[in-house]
A and B are shown apart, each in its own frame.
Chain A
């Protein structure tokens, strides 16, 4: 497949889907068989891509990334292992930890669950793309100020989830932040500081309830 226009990408995923349904479809109700049969005929007439490497063009942080990869390569795998963009992390490769979160358009997604070929034609933003002219974003600054990280491995994912939230909600509540970060895991236990940082990035100061007492 040479063309990387979005409609072909859609056709590709439909084709794969219906092909997998093929045997089931044969025994299904007749009306469904007719519909599915027509679809199958249409998509089987398209050129099959893979299983070998195919050219894929991704738009990441405003730049074109041209790769030769197998269609089964995920967006996360493409970023981390076929380019030097290792900011998105692999924690589970299974849509359970959120360390791989990137923005597809303005939507936060698990990049481990998106095939790279399906991500063509849409602007992808990774954590490396947030700072503009070396100036950190508000979210990044707030994460540093509030110490919303320890080992830092989950941090890119949380930063992207919070960034996505603030793109559509300028005045989030604590519950909004918790909802936005519900798909991100942190094992060091930075959650209280992450909450403070997200609110701080939205302009709400929310101090830690820590008291220091000198022993006498």
Chain B
């Protein structure tokens, strides 16, 4: 079994990202920066109604707009629109201005339906308008999972709490919207895609356009974030391809921010009715939950990333002997969900960890103690103890609502995990070692901002005893040996062992060919020179024993709540996380910060707001859909548990899981009452305090 070196020079240290210079100088070419020879601008026309039957789309006037080279309808014949923002047609022209003009003159003949539903609880009613004609919005038989004797067990509990905890639909909103530049000619299709999965995009194009995989090449040099939404070719990709074919020119079609908010994925909402009971010593005995949420018109749209459904893991991290869980997804007339950073986990953590805190309060127990009593995971046990000590939990935790004054302080904690993850065992890669000693790695993965190139350079530099700057890394091309999509926190544990294998095979061959016993470090150039004229190309693949899965984490939050305005200010978050062997500490820190900040948005700001009467999304851009800004971000303190013996584990998802629950618990601790739904807006805080009427649903 291979193993990572015990003493390291680069692994577990901090190397600035190798593509940092390209990114801070503007030299990095993102998918939306591609200017292929003769390229055209592309834009999409979207439905302005939540429900309609389109009988015809006339593109003649659009095609007559000066500069317009092609226009296509999303599909032939009549078709049904099921949500505000669904694609109808697309145009390509020599400028954005021409496209804007053309979209305005497309004639759509539509029978607009006035019966639709965008509200989850309305959609569940029997007489609700149907999103899909042939099936009810909510299943008549929800999934039920039952262990033990739940009803009997509640009778034996010393304390029981009940709560209805809900979370809102969250939009991915990567800073670079989705889209591609597509060139489709008789020779095949080439797409520069803003994607997390070059292979799944290749397969998506091939499938939708009936092309051989070998005729499709996908390139992603740089892309501006994905968070689970960017795995497929997408309707926008297919439309760009059709426009390219019709116009006989490459078409760059990037979504507008409005498009992004309406049609390309989100995290489903959740409405969790939870009943939780424990014995007098705090041992959880009974759990009864019913959850529903909406994935819009359907779950896991535009796959490749999988997941994204409305079901969540309950009772999350805890083993409760008597458990009953009933779940159902509810269809509404809104854009479909997609996998979103740790699908299912943040809402599950929010519901369960909130219920745990409410139970702790009812029992007069310290929330950390209640968790130590019930969390079966030894690593989290350690993390809670360590974190509580460093955070100063004992001194900071006070009776709920007991702090003096108008601005009240509170603390909270919560746990998360990412039970999936692990590695993609098919990951492959190659390195070309040139006689001049330069070396280039080629892996068919992509860097979504996590530092994939840097991880490859760090691992290679460590094994070859070179410097990371000496390693050239090329990723983001389906012509390279295949790697995984960047999802499920699998990239780092997939590529690190692969690079390890390539390096060892390269050394073996180089040593044989050069006759130098150890080609590493200072002997590297001498050995490479002996290759003569031909470079050495070495292929490697993922190896067992160098990576693992199931990262954990606990977080502590400290907040201030103004009880006159309802405004919540997060003062501090401490994240105690493990991810096996730390590969590069600097970029790891960035990912954990990012997870925490995204979780903070989920806790306090982010919500897709639908208008029940018109069926439109009311906040489809950043002035109304609020993301955390630099002024909102608290002090973040990270404690990393390094466990080299476990091998490499991804951190992207686990870091974002517990944040919202920890903040929600801190708010409840500050004001002495619970706000039962995310995001915790000032209005909800004031309503919980009885200072304002509750919002009408």
Q: Which chain A residues have a beta carbon within 8 Å of chain B's beta carbons?
A: 70, 72-73, 77, 80-81, 84-94, 96-97, 99, 126-128, 130-131, 136, 140, 143-145, 147, 149-156, 159, 177-179, 181-182, 184-195, 208-215
Contact = CB atoms under 8 A, between A and B. Distances in A.
A128 B25 contact: yes
Given A147-B17, A215-B641, A92 B257 contact: yes
A159 B22 CA distance: 13
Contacts of A94: 257, 621-623
Given A192-B593, A212-B585, A144 B640 contact: no
Contacts of B450: 150
Nearest to A51: B97
Contact of A147 (B379, B386, B586, B637): B586
Given A150-B591, A190-B594, A86 B629 contact: no
Interface in B1-59: 12, 16-17, 19-21, 23-30, 32-33, 35, 41
A127 B26 contact: yes
B159 to A, nearest CB: 34
Contact of B24 (A80, A155, A178): A155
B30 A191 contact: no
A79 to B, nearest CB: 10
With most chain B CB atoms within 10 A of its CB, the pick from A144, A151, A194 is A151
A150 B633 CA distance: 17
Nearest to A139: B24
A153 B597 contact: no
With most chain A CB atoms within 10 A of its CB, the pick from B19, B25, B448, B586 is B25
17 contacts: A86-B32, A91-B175, A92-B621, A96-B621, A97-B175, A128-B26, A144-B24, A145-B16, A149-B23, A151-B225, A152-B19, A155-B24, A188-B590, A189-B633, A192-B636, A209-B638, A212-B12
B638 A211 contact: yes
Contacts of B33: 80, 86
B435 interface: no
Interface of A is mostly: loop
B195 to A, nearest CB: 12
Contacts of A151: 174-176, 222-225, 448-449
A154 B631 contact: no
A190 B593 contact: yes
B86 interface: no
Given A73-B97, A80-B33, A191-B597, A149 B640 contact: no
Contacts, number: 214
Contact of B640 (A97, A185, A193, A212): A212
B23 A155 contact: yes
A150 to B, nearest CB: 4
B469 interface: no
A92 B255 CA distance: 10
B590 A184 contact: no
Contacts of A149: 17, 20, 23-24, 449, 590
Contacts of B95: 70, 73, 81
Contacts of B633: 189, 191-192
B589 A140 contact: no
Contacts of B19: 152
Contacts of A194: 630
Contacts of B587: 147, 150
Given A147-B586, A151-B225, A189-B596, A81 B41 contact: yes
A213 B637 contact: no
Contacts of B642: 212-215
With most chain A CB atoms within 10 A of its CB, the pick from B24, B254, B257, B386 is B24
A153 B29 contact: no
B42 to A, nearest CB: 12
Nearest to B260: A92
A99 B174 CA distance: 12
A187 to B, nearest CB: 5
B249 to A, nearest CB: 15
A207 to B, nearest CB: 11
The 4 A-B pairs at the shortest CB distance, nearest first, are namely A87-B26, A153-B224, A151-B449, A189-B594
- By size class, the interface of chain B is 35 or more
A188 B594 contact: yes
B382 interface: yes
Interface string B436-469: 0000000000001111000000000000000000
B582 A212 contact: yes
B578 A215 contact: yes
B18 to A, nearest CB: 10
A87 B30 CA distance: 9
Contact of A143 (B20, B225, B596): B20
Nearest to A137: B24
A176 to B, nearest CB: 11
B622 A97 contact: yes
Contact of A187 (B27, B586, B589, B598): B598
B65 to A, nearest CB: 12
Nearest to B631: A178
B387 to A, nearest CB: 11
A135 to B, nearest CB: 11
Contacts of B638: 208-211
Nearest to A156: B26
Contacts of B382: 215
B24 A143 contact: yes
Given A151-B175, A209-B638, A89 B30 contact: yes
Nearest to B94: A81
A142 to B, nearest CB: 9
Contacts of A72: 97
B448 A189 contact: no
A89 B32 contact: yes
Given A96-B621, A152-B449, A192-B633, A89 B640 contact: no
A186 B21 CA distance: 18
Nearest to A212: B640
A150 B448 CA distance: 8
Contacts of A177: 630
A185 B175 contact: yes
B641 A213 contact: yes
B581 to A, nearest CB: 11
